[in-house]
Amino acid sequence: MSFIFLALTIGVYFIRFEHRKTSAKEIVFIAIICALAVGGRVLFAALPSVKPELFILIMGAIVSGPETGFLMGTIIALASNMYFGQGAWTPWQMFALGVIGLVSGLFSNKGINRWLLVVWGFLSGFIMGWIMDIYYILGFVNPITFKSVGISIAGSFYFDLIHAVFTAILLFLVGKRWIKLFNNYRTKYNLFKKE
């Protein structure tokens, strides 16, 4: 049931994107963001939870808008799992990154300040972890009780914290520069005017 729900949710955004007029330049931008995020995730594969994909996704979504942000998040999860391995967790990762891309895209064209960006980056690390906790609990915890749910969430807390802190640090150090760089690209090529 959860798999069907996730597939329908993700499918709605893919269908909306397919019916939207998208220029080749916008597709190139989406591909660049996704390639950077996938490459960053693979490059840091040896370090658990130290992955720059949330940072790159947040930057790309802020520039491109919520719908494209959701799409980029789903593509990043699907494409990076070509290296890490596909499985029942893939749609959950697609949904988690999609939600983060969607919310990040709501900051589009709003001149987000650095501290709000850092706080959102920190929270996004936990949001990703909590969505994946739901997948784990539904799929592997039996019986599902307050205690077993608490233990499951506590077991992933360290990894979620590392992911959140790493993302927040990257956003603090270079987030505003990346937004400026991506915005210059968007302005130069007249991208994402309708989002």
Q: Determine contact, residues 175/160, Cβ cutoff 8 Å.
A: no
pLDDT at 194: 59
- The position carrying tokens 């739901």 is 134
Indicate whether 161 pLDDT > 90.
yes
* Single-letter amino acid, residue 182: F
Structural domains of the chain, with CATH: 2-189 (1.10.1760.20)
The CA distance from 121 to 104, in Å, is 9
Indicate whether 167 pLDDT > 90.
yes
Q: Determine contact, residues 57/33, Cβ cutoff 8 Å.
A: yes
The CA distance from 92 to 81, in Å, is 12
DSSP 8-state secondary structure symbol assigned to residue 146: H
Over residues 76-111, the pLDDT tens digits come to 998 999 998 888 888 899 999 999 999 999 998 777
pLDDT at 90: 87
Burial of 53 (0-12, 13-18, 19+ CB in 10 A): buried
Over residues 6-60, the pLDDT tens digits come to 777 777 777 777 777 778 888 899 999 999 999 999 999 888 889 999 999 999 9
Q: Determine contact, residues 102/61, Cβ cutoff 8 Å.
A: yes
Q: Could you tell me the two tokens for 89?
A: 């967790």
Q: Could you tell me the two tokens for 140?
A: 């592997």
From the centroid of its chain, how far is CA 65? 13
